Amino acid sequence: MDVKNLVAIDMHTHAEVSSRVSDDPLWQAMQEASAEYFKNDEPRPTITEVAAYYRERKMACVIFPVDMESATGLARVPNEEVAEVAAENADVLIPFASIDPAKGKMGAREARRLIEHFGVRGFKFHPSMQEFYPNDRMAYELYGVIAEAGLPAVFHTGHSGIGTGMRGGGGVRLKYSNPMYLDDVAVDFPDMPIIMAHPSFPWQDEALSVCLHKPQVYIDLSGWSPKYFPASLVQYANTLLKHKVLFGSDYPLITPDRWLADFEQIAIKPEVRVLILKENAIKLLGLAV
């Protein structure tokens, strides 16, 4: 990966379409509601198409599936497929895996296998979709494998666009994604980098506090147009947290084109922009410069 010539590194993109297994029809209603919420009716890309999209823009991206099989019964995009297609497109794709914490010891074994044999570079959790509190001890054996490898874990925090507007919110419970639960995880796994995904509405101050207090905690800015960022988030991104805030789009739900255009319009200092868009990610991911 030629990081010097990259425009940006997007820390938050989704592998939603598999080229190996059929799309789960149970997911269709959620997808339609999400498209309406995010005002995005573009076709969902395959992983290879994601690579081409980012290559065209001279960007790289972290890409991951979301394993929520235990709570929802929805089949995931295979972690192995994400890792293998990323290896074929290593100039632009950085593979993260996702394992439902409810899978317990078997999930921990899978994580070790994915790290050792498939070269995954981190892990994605979505507490509201996986129906677990991040500090639930059932997840700790899985965290232990991730921490032992020194890899980052990204956690959805705050409001969920998935399920918004659906009857009963599509069964999605927001309570699991309060970022304060990650404070316990940061204490118990001090060597595992933690990325709190999204502006954490309605718990933004909690997220800022945890990020400020715990050295290994970061915030990615995905899932929201920057024009809607809370003033406190912009303030801390410009100052005390300038080395701990990361560009993320939430593609394909939000395109990097839209995100970056809106980012240009907010009051981020020029010297901080380059940190958010690329430099902080290079350091966190240990990418060669």
CA–CA distances in Å: residue 168 to residues 7, 54, 69, 115, 165? 41, 36, 20, 37, 8
Question: Under 8 Å CB-to-CB from 271, ≥6 apart: which residues?
Answer: none
Model-level pTM greater than 0.85?
yes
Question: 7: number of CA atoms within 13 Å, CB side?
Answer: 9
Distance between CA atoms of residues 4 and 60, nearest Å: 11
Q: Is the pLDDT of residue 26 over 90?
A: no
Classify residue 286 as exposed, middle or buried by CB count within 10 Å of its CB (0-12, 13-18, 19+): exposed
Assign residue 265 a region (left: φ > 0; alpha: ψ between -120 and 50; beta: otherwise): alpha
- The domain made up of 3-285 has a fold known as TIM Barrel (3.20.20)
Report domain extents, the chain. 3-285
Mean per-residue pLDDT, 9-36: 79
Instruction: Kindly report which listed range (97-106, 167-176, 203-212, 230-239) carries the lowest average pLDDT score.
Output: 167-176
Identify any residues that bridge with 95 across adjacent strands, giving them in sequence order: 63
Nearest residue to 44 (alpha-carbon basis) of 89, 72, 77: 77
pLDDT tens-digit map of 39-71: 666 778 999 999 999 999 999 999 999 999 988
The CA distance from 26 to 246, in Å, is 32
Average pLDDT over residues 109-135: 97
Name the strands in the sheet holding 8-14, side by side, starting at the edge strand that comes first in the sequence. Answer: 8-14, 59-64, 93-95
In DSSP notation, 87-114 reads: HHTTTTEEE-B---GGGHHHHHHHHHHH
CA angle 90, 93, 97 (to 5 degrees): 115
Q: What is the pLDDT of residue 126?
A: 97
Give the pLDDT of residue 263.
97
pLDDT confidence bin for 33, thresholds 50/70/90: low
Handedness of CA 265, 270, 272, 275 (dihedral sign): positive
Q: Which amino acid is at 283?
A: K
43 burial type by CB count under 10 A (0-12 exposed, 13-18 middle, 19+ buried): exposed
Contacts for 179-184: CB closer than 8 Å, 24+ residues apart = 179/155, 179/203, 179/206, 179/207, 179/210, 180/206, 180/210, 181/127, 181/133, 181/134, 181/135, 182/134, 182/135, 182/155, 182/157, 182/210, 182/217, 183/210, 183/213, 183/214, 184/134, 184/135
More confident residue, 208 or 43: 208
Eight-class DSSP state of 46:
B
The separation between the first and the last C-alpha atoms of the chain, rounded to the nearest angstrom, is 9
Whether cis (ω within 30° of 0) applies to the bond prior to 226 is no
Residue 162: predicted pLDDT: 82
Q: What DSSP element (H or E) covers 128? A: helix 127-130
* Poorest-pLDDT segment among 29-33, 168-172, 254-258, 266-270: 29-33
What is the model's pLDDT at position 169?
Answer: 87
